[in-house]
Amino acid sequence: MSKIIVRKSEPLMGNISCSGSKNAALPILASTILTAGVSTLYNIPNLTDINYMLSILENLGAKCSFSKNCAKIDFTNCNSFYADIDSMSKFRGSFFLAAPLLSRMGRARISMPGGCPIGSRPIDLHLKGFSAMGAEIENGHGFVDLSCKKLQGARIYLDFPSVGATENLIMAAVLADGETVIENAAAEPEIVDLAEFLNKQGAQISGMGSDTVTIQGVSSLTPTDYTIISDRIEAGTFMSAFAITGGKGTITGINPLHLKPVTAKLAEMGAIILENESSISIDATKPLSASSIKTLPFPGFPTDMQAQFSALLCETKGTGIIVETVFENRFLHIGELNRMGANIRIDGRSSVIEGERLLTGAKVTAFDLRGGASLALAGLAAKGETEITGSEHIERGYEDLCGKLSSIGGNIFLA
């Protein structure tokens, strides 16, 4: 298990740039299966999950190259519908392969995506949509077998605005016969990015970013190049780092509209926020006040920022409350924060966070990606040294977190 060491840091100051979005890159990489030819993708972050995905695409017959955040994927040939179980079971992004494989090959055999510490991560909404489009579904031992000669357009209502189900069903619909309407769809910016990439190749998708997405099936897609959006959760994590250390600085290369719920919350807590076209500045040099937060699908407060704000609220004035409505088990970082001197009480899906705690460094464990990030943030503010075990979770979703935070004064490094 790799480790990160964090020591109490002076208020962070300076400019920090964002990498490309992990949660945009994964579905977009999977969607290249739909296109015979060379897709060139820019601003792809160099993360373990991205490299897993590229190795799976190669196992399916693609020729891939990845350097300087540019991925070229040549899917002239796709010669398998059955991805490498081993590397797939390592991460959740594997299930994005279901729709493009089913669409291109008429068949897809996908290992049941690993649940993960934050929840059981069911796929019932994905399967309900595939079934509505004519797919036969067989649940094997540890995998799902999907088959359908030609997917048919359908009207699908999602019981929950699932990000992954919306993305999978958009990918299933772009080459299907007829029109597909996805109602109660998720509206996250990463979904819009996937749809815009597909439309640039000739797909006919409209309504992305709203709760109703309509797709007219086309006969084929034309390969293209595309630059993916920056990572709004990485940007939010950096803002939280400035906030928790009482610093100020600018996050560059980010669309402020993707981070509205987070910047609005920080402003409500007393931070001074300035937004430009592709950057956000934050001044948190004055003490911040606690707030209450409820995680919701976009455009609500993102669940992927919940852990980071749990750490921040340990340092603000007053008592904060966070309600996690999206995942059933996303408080694993709370016990670790309490080991650092926090006083956080969990009550079902709510956590009550006492502020103005003098956190002290401790040996803690990262159990999931964003929980790990919250421990790094807490370590920047805590007296003494914090040792975070399980930092490979952090490396799944943050490109060079230690290097980036060090560049603005963070005392943090990979051990």
Catalytic residues: 116
Task: Specify the residue for token string 């029109």.
Answer: 179
Amino acid identity for residue 404 in this structure: K
Residue 100 is a binding residue for ligand EPZ (CB under 6 A): no
Nearer residue to ligand EPZ within complex by CB, 16 or 307: 307
CB count in 10 Å sphere of residue 7: 16
Question: 352-371 mask for ligand EPZ (x: CB under 6 A)?
Answer: -----------------xx-
Selected binder of ligand EPZ within 45, 93, 223, 261 (CB under 6 A)? 93
CB 52 within 8 A of CB 79: no
CB 322 within 8 A of CB 353: yes
Give, in degrees to the nearest 5, the angle at Cα 17 between 294 and 316: 40
Question: Which residue's CB comes closest to ligand EPZ?
Answer: 164
Nearer residue to ligand EPZ within complex by CB, 122 or 270: 122
Selected binder of ligand EPZ within 54, 110, 313, 326 (CB under 6 A)? 326
Q: Roughly how many angstroms between the first and final C-alpha of the chain, as a whole number?
A: 10
Can you tell me the distance from the alpha carbon of 280 to that of 236, in angstroms, rounded to the nearest whole number? 10
CB 313 within 8 A of CB 290: yes
Selected binder of ligand EPZ within 28, 60, 123, 375 (CB under 6 A)? 123
Nearer residue to ligand EPZ within complex by CB, 92 or 248: 92
Minimum CB distance to ligand EPZ, residue 354 (Å): 26
Selected binder of ligand EPZ within 20, 397, 409, 410 (CB under 6 A)? 397
Selected binder of ligand EPZ within 12, 16, 18, 23 (CB under 6 A)? 23
CB 408 within 8 A of CB 16: yes
CB 163 within 8 A of CB 185: no
Tally helices (H) and strands (E) across the chain: 14, 23
Selected binder of ligand EPZ within 136, 155, 160, 210 (CB under 6 A)? 160
Residue 300 is a binding residue for ligand EPZ (CB under 6 A): no
Minimum CB distance to ligand EPZ, residue 303 (Å): 5
Residue 209 is a binding residue for ligand EPZ (CB under 6 A): no
- If you ran DSSP here, which 8-state letter would residue 161 be given? -
Nearer residue to ligand EPZ within complex by CB, 153 or 371: 371
Nearer residue to ligand EPZ within complex by CB, 92 or 357: 92
Minimum CB distance to ligand EPZ, residue 99 (Å): 13
Nearer residue to ligand EPZ within complex by CB, 371 or 409: 371
What percent helix, strand, coil does the chain show, rounded to 5?
35, 30, 35
Selected binder of ligand EPZ within 45, 153, 164, 371 (CB under 6 A)? 164
Nearest partner of 106 among 57, 75, 147, 61, judged by Cα: 147
Minimum CB distance to ligand EPZ, residue 297 (Å): 7
Nearer residue to ligand EPZ within complex by CB, 144 or 288: 144
Minimum CB distance to ligand EPZ, residue 287 (Å): 29
Residues 6+ apart with CB under 8 A from 122: none
User: Crossing angle, helix 163-173 and helix 98-105, to 10 degrees?
Assistant: 10
Q: Binding-site residue total for ligand EPZ (CB under 6 A)?
A: 24
Can you tell me the distance from the alpha carbon of 35 to that of 76, in angstroms, rounded to the nearest whole number? 8
Give, in degrees to the nearest 5, the angle at Cα 14 between 71 and 360: 100
Residue 304 is a binding residue for ligand EPZ (CB under 6 A): yes
CB count in 10 Å sphere of residue 404: 20
Residues that bind ligand EPZ (CB under 6 A): 23, 26, 92-93, 119, 121-126, 160, 162-165, 186, 303-304, 326-327, 369-370, 397
